[in-house]
């Protein structure tokens, strides 16, 4: 592989899980992602920088995830959560008296959680978003934006709503990273051609594409908006190793089984399908090093065989460190080796664009969904239609009240937030199969309630209590402007 011809992109997203109360109720998925994937990845980057090594990494954290990571309430809740995990592990250690293997593993969980707590509290000052900025300033991390609440772009029915998602997503990323992002990662990797001019208007230079969306399935970069927006197909050849359930590295017999016991801890490894075998972190760590070395060989062979101009490898934090617990160790070993090598160095899509003159144009396949189509299957038709109706109603209200002030403006601002949050749940994603319809309906119902309030001449005391409650519970995107949803 030629020097600089590979780019790693780490993506991460979590739906809106923030709890406004004093306890982190319902936030487990967010905190598990933070502890198992995000903090270890940041530790890796900081450790390499302290060794004067400069790895290059594209980072695509969804704006909705960035909003939650930067929220003081969520930060406080994460500290409570990791403290609770330490206490639970200490209880498990006490219960393991006489069982040497289980006691060893309980102590491992104590040490692991204490290390995560120290990194979060001391090294990163409880603010992971702020901790990213030095890496961006040093040009180690290249940030990519995404749609504000991370909906599949094809699921959005109206052009004004699509623009609102893109404009707000780019703005949120710029505020988080301290610079305007040059790249865009479409939610779930699914691009939509109508988004191209909107991305170009936001000075986004490139968008990552699924090669299946390119007519000739070409893997070479090319323009999707002439001289304004470059499309860069990702390399799906690596998915079999890092993101294919039952096929990728995570299923190795030595790795930790993903199923936890009633006490919240996973005590067994994947094994070979016979009697459960106790998990051994040391054996798993050694295997992660072997898999990192193997992945490097695959990268080199792929570069030699395909003669690709640029190989973009997407890693999902929900897998690398999430579903695959040892993925964090694998990622550290991989990035360390790449940072130390001269013959297999990493680049970023932005650096590649600066170094290479691109003349070709990419022809995209027709979109699988026409404007206003329904995504996710017939069984979700009524829910999708209700969402489209809410889009239309908010658009009409925004057009009717372009100069709303005081309470009506607050109501419309919150209605816009609720619509964004209703769109954030991926009805096709396996991990959201049970929760997505319920959460979508929750925010959709709130959006409709607020639209009702916006049409009243004045608000009652009960109306104001409802508004204040929703403003406290659902408060991402402080700078949202409902007017961008207005019908054209």
What is the domain range of residue 243? 6-355
User: Comparing C-alpha atoms, which of 433, 402, 436, 409 is closest to residue 422?
Assistant: 436
Q: How far is CA 465 from its chain centroid?
A: 33
Output the pLDDT for position 55: 92
Q: Is the pLDDT of residue 433 over 60?
A: no
444 falls within a domain? yes
3-state secondary structure at position 327: helix
Cα pseudo-dihedral 465, 466, 467, 472, rounded to 10? 90
146 falls within a domain? yes
Q: Does one domain contain both 382 and 346?
A: no
Q: Mean pLDDT throughout 385-394?
A: 92
Q: 1 falls in which pLDDT band (50, 70, 90)?
A: very low
Q: Is the dihedral of CA 50, 51, 56, 59 positive or negative?
A: negative
Output the pLDDT for position 3: 43
Other beta carbons within 10 angstroms of residue 456's beta carbon come to: 12
Q: Indicate the number of domains in the chain.
A: 2
Q: Does one domain contain both 383 and 238?
A: no
The CATH number assigned to the domain holding 425 equals 1.20.1430.10
Contact assessment for residue 267 and residue 102, using Cβ atoms and an 8 Å cutoff: yes
Q: Does one domain contain both 209 and 330?
A: yes
Q: Does one domain contain both 332 and 399?
A: no
Q: Which of 18-32, 156-170, 431-445 has the highest mean predicted lDDT (pLDDT)?
A: 156-170
Q: Is the pLDDT of residue 134 over 50?
A: yes
Q: Does one domain contain both 198 and 282?
A: yes
| More confidently predicted of 434 and 445 | 445
Output the pLDDT for position 399: 96
Q: What is the pLDDT of residues 170-224, one digit of tens each?
A: 999 999 999 999 999 999 889 999 999 999 999 999 999 999 999 888 788 999 9
Other beta carbons within 10 angstroms of residue 484's beta carbon come to: 16
Domain boundary among 306, 340, 355: 355
Distances 419 to 12, 155, 400, 443, 447 between C-alpha atoms, Å: 22, 13, 18, 7, 6
363 falls within a domain? no
Average pLDDT for the chain = 91
225 falls within a domain? yes
3-state secondary structure at position 348: coil
Q: Does one domain contain both 350 and 383?
A: no
366 falls within a domain? no
Q: What is the pLDDT of residues 248-298, one digit of tens each?
A: 999 999 999 988 888 889 999 999 878 899 999 999 999 999 999 999 999
Alpha helices in 401-487 (DSSP H): 406-422, 436-454, 461-473
Lowest mean pLDDT among 119-133, 297-311, 312-326, 347-361: 297-311
Q: Does one domain contain both 273 and 400?
A: no
372 falls within a domain? no
Q: Mean pLDDT throughout 159-164?
A: 94
Q: Mean pLDDT throughout 136-165?
A: 94
Q: Is the pLDDT of residue 114 over 90?
A: yes
Output the pLDDT for position 371: 41
Q: Does one domain contain both 324 and 394?
A: no
Q: Which helix (H) or strand (E) holds 85?
A: helix 72-95
Domain boundary among 322, 355, 388: 355
Q: Does one domain contain both 165 and 213?
A: yes
Output the pLDDT for position 334: 97
Q: Does one domain contain both 384 and 287?
A: no
Output the pLDDT for position 373: 45
Q: Which helix (H) or strand (E) holds 105?
A: helix 100-118
| More confidently predicted of 40 and 300 | 40
Q: Does one domain contain both 112 and 48?
A: yes
Output the pLDDT for position 343: 80
Residues paired with residue 314 on neighbouring β-strands, in sequence order? 9
Q: Does one domain contain both 336 and 202?
A: yes
The CATH number assigned to the domain holding 339 equals 3.20.110.10
Residues paired with residue 280 on neighbouring β-strands, in sequence order? none
371 falls within a domain? no
Other beta carbons within 10 angstroms of residue 244's beta carbon come to: 14
73 falls within a domain? yes
Q: Is the pLDDT of residue 381 over 90?
A: no
């Amino acid at each position: 592989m030629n020097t600089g011809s590979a780019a790693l992109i780490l993506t991460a997203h979590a739906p809106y899980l923030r709890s406004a109360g004093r306890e982190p109720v319902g936030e487990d998925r967010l905190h598990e992602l933070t502890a198992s994937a995000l903090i270890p990845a940041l530790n890796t980057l900081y450790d390499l920088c302290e060794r004067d090594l400069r790895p290059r990494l594209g980072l695509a954290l969804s704006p909705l995830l960035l909003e939650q990571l930067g929220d003081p309430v969520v930060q406080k809740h994460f500290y409570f959560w990791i403290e609770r995990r330490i206490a639970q592990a200490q209880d498990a250690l006490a219960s393991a008296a006489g069982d040497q293997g289980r006691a060893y593993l309980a102590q491992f969980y104590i040490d692991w959680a204490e290390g995560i707590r120290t990194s979060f509290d001391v090294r990163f000052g409880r603010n992971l978003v702020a901790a990213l900025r030095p890496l961006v300033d040093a040009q180690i991390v290249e940030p990519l934006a995404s749609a504000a609440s991370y909906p599949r772009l094809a699921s959005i029915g109206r052009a004004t709503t699509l623009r609102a998602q893109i404009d707000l997503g780019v703005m949120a990323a710029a505020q988080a990273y301290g610079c305007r992002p040059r790249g865009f990662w479409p939610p779930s990797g699914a691009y939509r051609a109508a988004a191209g001019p909107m991305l170009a208007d936001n000075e986004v230079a490139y968008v990552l594409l699924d090669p299946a969306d390119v007519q000739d399935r070409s893997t070479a970069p090319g323009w999707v908006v002439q001289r304004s927006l470059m499309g860069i197909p990702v390399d799906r050849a690596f998915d079999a190793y890092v993101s294919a359930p039952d096929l990728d590295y995570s299923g190795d017999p030595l790795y930790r089984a993903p199923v936890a016991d009633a006490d919240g801890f996973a005590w067994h490894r994947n094994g070979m399908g016979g009697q459960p075998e106790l998990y051994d972190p040391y054996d798993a760590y050694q295997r992660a090093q072997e898999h990192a070395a193997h992945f490097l060989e695959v990268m080199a062979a792929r570069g030699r065989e395909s003669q690709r101009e640029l190989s973009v490898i997407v890693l999902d934090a929900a897998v690398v460190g999430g579903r695959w617990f040892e993925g964090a160790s694998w990622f550290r070993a991989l990035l360390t080796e790449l940072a130390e090598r001269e013959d297999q160095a990493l680049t970023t899509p932005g650096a590649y664009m600066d170094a290479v003159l691109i003349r070709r144009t990419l022809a995209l396949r027709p979109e699988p969904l026409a404007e206003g189509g329904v995504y996710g299957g017939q069984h979700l038709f009524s829910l999708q239609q209700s969402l489209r109706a809410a889009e239309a109603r908010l658009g009409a209200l925004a057009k009717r009240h372009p100069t709303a002030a005081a309470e009506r403006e607050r109501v419309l601002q919150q209605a816009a937030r609720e619509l964004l949050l209703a769109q954030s749940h991926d009805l096709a994603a396996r991990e959201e199969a049970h929760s997505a319809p319920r959460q979508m309906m929750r925010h959709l119902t709130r959006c409709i309630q607020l639209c009702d309030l916006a049409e009243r001449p004045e608000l009652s005391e009960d109306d104001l209590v409802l508004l204040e409650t929703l403003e406290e519970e659902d408060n991402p995107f402080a700078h949202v402007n409902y007017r961008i949803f207005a019908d054209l």
